[in-house]
Amino acid sequence: MIDKLLITPEDLEPYKDVSENLDLERFNTYVIDAQFADIRLFLGRKLYTALQADFDDVTKTFTDQRFIDLWDGVVVDDAQFYGLKGALVQYTYARLLDNIQLNITRAGVRKFDDEESEEATQSQIRDKVNAARSMALLYIADTRNFLNGAKLYPEWDVETTKNTSVDFFKV
């Protein structure tokens, strides 16, 4: 069973500037990857499963207020929690940047080339990917603090969830 897609291309707009002509099938692939590899790993299976179960595919929203707050953010004790959605957007964006120009064809892996645009260098792409992952980790840290202070998420188990950060450096 494939997980429900928790974001759409429109959800990127407040966070990132992307083309309206984004290939939906490719976008969805990277959303699924980011949900599974980053969000699920961070939340743990129980909380991630509960989040998925509460998501309404038709309305593209959550039904339980605790999941709405977790996803979209909420003010708690006069402090703004920004929500987990930002992390998924940033992780998805990083995966898009890493892979969007590559196509697998019967002749092998090919790189998209447009005569009317200037191609970004590998260094520029890597910098943008690292910046997006860094932003995702900030949202994750904010979410961890929120979950650790909230009593509404019995599925949250600090002992079994993993930190999704990876030490990376610029060469």
* Per-residue pLDDT tens over the stretch 59-105: 999 999 999 999 999 999 899 999 999 999 999 999 998 877 645 44
Residue 91's closest CA among 1, 4, 16? 16
What pTM was estimated for this model as a whole? 0.84
Structure confidence at residue 148 (pLDDT): 96
pLDDT surpassing 50 at residue 169:
no
| pLDDT over 60 at 116, yes or no | no
Beta-ladder partners of 103: 110
Among all chains, which residue has been given the structure tokens 């909380």? 47
Q: What is the mean pLDDT of residues 117-144?
A: 88
What does R_g of the chain's alpha carbons equal in angstroms? 17
Q: What is the model's pLDDT at position 108?
A: 45
pLDDT at 24: 87
Query: 46 with 56: CB under 8 angstroms?
Result: no
Question: pLDDT averaged over the chain?
Answer: 85
Strand partners, 108: 105
